[in-house]
């Protein structure tokens, strides 16, 4: 199952609105085929794995898959039907699908066809892999990750005139890896005006560029801002009231939303008046030891 999880992680951030899923086929204690779901509309992990085998499935082989196989027809056929047709006799499932259309349906379908099924193997790891999808598919609201870089004594920025970064290159690389896994990045208008950020993914091979969301009450944003002038300038969304952000965004942001920028006034109003657990699903913080900058109110 760890090998299947490794396969699934290859497509993190690239399968939205679908979950990331990996599968491996084991025969005589050896992995003989691997596969993962690459993007929405592409073959699911189980099917990709079987195709990579390029031979008939041995009757004593076991398929390990991180997520319950789908049991309905959508862009692709039902994976349960394909597994039965391929002659898979044993299936080990990491986590049940959070999708109400599929949840718990694959197991009885496979068992009725004589397939041995085990569930819950590394279940928590498999569920955590798709925590964003699991929230969105049930609530139709994005999974929100609150990100910040700060010093151990609570500073989020340096004093004027000091070098611009409070974090090191490792933390900044992690930030881009995080961006590569989400559907959108959200900032307030003050961050846009003060920092003129690009809000793009850089240094991550094959990454999709996320939507860029600006929260503004006035709607008056600098036309010369970088995000209005690059090749991804069409991938933007504005909101004027914080309480109305998440519902409209669900039309373009299917799984994850990353609030970014310490100076985002409207974003601060949105988050600081409620408990973090009500506004964010996960917190990602980079801690540094340097003491400089101002204190975040």
Give, in order, the Cα–Cα distances in Å from 70 to each of 10, 65, 77. Answer: 20, 11, 9
Residue 228 phi/psi, 5° resolution? -95, -5
Residue 43 CA neighbour count, 13 Å, CB half: 14
Sequence-distant (≥ 6) Cβ neighbours of residue 12 within 8 angstroms: 20, 129, 180, 181
Collapsing DSSP to helix, strand or coil, 27 comes out as strand
As a whole number of angstroms, the distance between CA 31 and CA 255 comes to 31
Put the strands of the sheet holding 184-188 in their side by side order: 236-239, 211-215, 184-188, 256-259, 143-151, 282-288
Q: Which of these is catalytic: 7, 46, 68, 82?
A: 46
Sequence-distant (≥ 6) Cβ neighbours of residue 165 within 8 angstroms: 158, 172
Work out the end-to-end distance of the chain between its first and last CA atoms, rounded to an integer number of angstroms: 45
Dump the DSSP string for 139-163.
HSS-EEEEEEEEETTSB-SPPTTS-
The single-letter DSSP state of residue 82 is: H
Annotation marks residue 46 as catalytic: yes
- Give the closest residue to 144 by CA, choosing from 172, 167, 177, 178: 178
Sequence-distant (≥ 6) Cβ neighbours of residue 282 within 8 angstroms: 131, 143, 144, 145, 146
Beta-bridge mates of residue 30: 27
Catalytic residue positions, numbered? 46
């Amino acid at each position: 199952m760890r090998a299947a999880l490794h396969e699934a992680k290859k497509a993190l951030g690239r399968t939205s609105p679908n979950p990331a899923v990996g599968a491996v086929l084991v025969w005589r204690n050896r992995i003989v085929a691997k596969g993962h779901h690459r993007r929405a509309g592409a073959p699911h992990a189980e099917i990709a794995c079987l195709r990579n085998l390029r031979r008939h499935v041995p009757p004593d082989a076991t398929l390990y898959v991180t997520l319950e196989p789908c049991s309905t027809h959508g862009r692709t056929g039902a994976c349960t039907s394909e597994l039965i047709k391929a002659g898979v006799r044993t299936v080990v499932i990491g986590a049940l699908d959070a999708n109400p259309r599929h949840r718990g349906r694959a197991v009885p379908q496979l068992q009725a066809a004589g397939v041995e099924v085990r569930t819950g193997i590394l279940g928590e790891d498999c569920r955590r892999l798709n925590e964003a999808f699991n929230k969105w598919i049930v609530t139709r609201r994005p999974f929100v990750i609150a990100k910040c870089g700060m010093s151990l004594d609570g500073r989020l920025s340096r004093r004027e005139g000091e070098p611009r970064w409070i974090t090191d290159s490792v933390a900044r690389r992690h930030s881009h890896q995080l961006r590569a896994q989400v559907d959108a990045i959200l900032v307030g208008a003050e961050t846009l005006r003060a920092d003129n950020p690009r809000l793009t993914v850089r240094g991550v091979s094959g990454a999709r560029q996320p939507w860029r969301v600006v929260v503004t009450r006035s709607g008056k944003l600098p036309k010369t801002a970088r995000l209005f002038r690059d090749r991804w300038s069409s991938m933007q969304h504005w909101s004027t009231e914080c309480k109305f952000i998440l519902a409209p965004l669900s039309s373009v942001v299917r799984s994850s939303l990353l609030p970014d920028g310490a100076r985002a006034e409207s974003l601060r109003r949105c988050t600081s008046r409620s408990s973090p657990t009500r506004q964010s699903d996960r917190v990602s913080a980079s801690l540094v030891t340097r003491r400089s900058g101002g204190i975040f109110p």
